Amino acid sequence: SAVISQKPSRDICQRGTSLTIQCQVDSQVTMMFWYRQQPGQSLTLIATANQGSEATYESGFVIDKFPISRPNLTFSTLTVSNMSPEDSSIYLCSVEDRGREGNEQFFGPGTRLTVL
Amino acid sequence: QKEVEQNSGPLSVPEGAIASLNCTYSDRGSQSFFWYRQYSGKSPELIMFIYSNGDKEDGRFTAQLNKASQYVSLLIRDSQPSDSATYLCAVMNFNKFYFGSGTKLNVKP
């Protein structure tokens, strides 16, 4: 199964600034996903990042606010732009990879973002 | 209507008992079903997945799927305090995962 790391693990940012979160996978994967998990809530898919093409955003999320890069099959970044306190959340990178019995989704450790 | 529904709980069970967690989903075309465990402050970790009707057992965990009724459940036998966590049900449909809001489980010693 894929091993995923994220940087930073946490950050406290000022309103109006931007933060770029990095996701690194130890193997080549086709599909990478970015999720948001607000306090006490479940995971909400922000976008799917495919190498060599533009990210596909879910309803309610736009590229200007959450630009994503996917330069190769092991790396992706998510930028949270022009942050407001409502963006305070845990941001999780995940990948689809071959598990014990089929394709499974594995999660990185997450980035805990607090916007003041 | 949400894609995946779960009772938020908390569900409290005594140590050694069976914990039963339930999940319903709206899209009949859903292909695979997953249970994740999430400890507070941690990322979700996969416990089991199931894609065929019936039961699937793995140690103390049993996943049950009923596609006709559109529900999937997770049974935890001999519950331990270390099982206390939030359990997320996820449904895969055309390579997209949809997560329920999770059920918080408390196992009391």
**What are A50-74's pLDDT values in tens digits?**
888 889 999 999 999 999 999 999 9
Cβ(B1)–Cβ(B95) below 8 Å: no
Q: Which of B6, B40, B43, B103 to mutate to test the interface with A (most CBs of A within 10 A)?
A: B43
Low-confidence ranges of chain B (pLDDT < 50): none
Residue A76 confidence (pLDDT) above 90: yes
CA A68 to chain B, closest CA, distance in angstroms equals 18
Q: Is B54 exposed, middle or buried (0-12, 13-18, 19+ CB in 10 A)?
A: exposed
Q: Do B97 and A45 touch (CB under 8 A)?
A: yes
Best CA proximity match to A90, nearest among A74, A108, A77, A65: A108
* Per-residue pLDDT, A101: 66
Section A77-101 average pLDDT: 90
Of B34, B44, B95, the CB nearest to A31: B95
Average pLDDT, chain A: 92
Model confidence band, residue A81 (pLDDT cutoffs 50, 70, 90): very high
Section A78-87 average pLDDT: 97
DSSP letter string, B88-100: EEEEEETTEEEE-
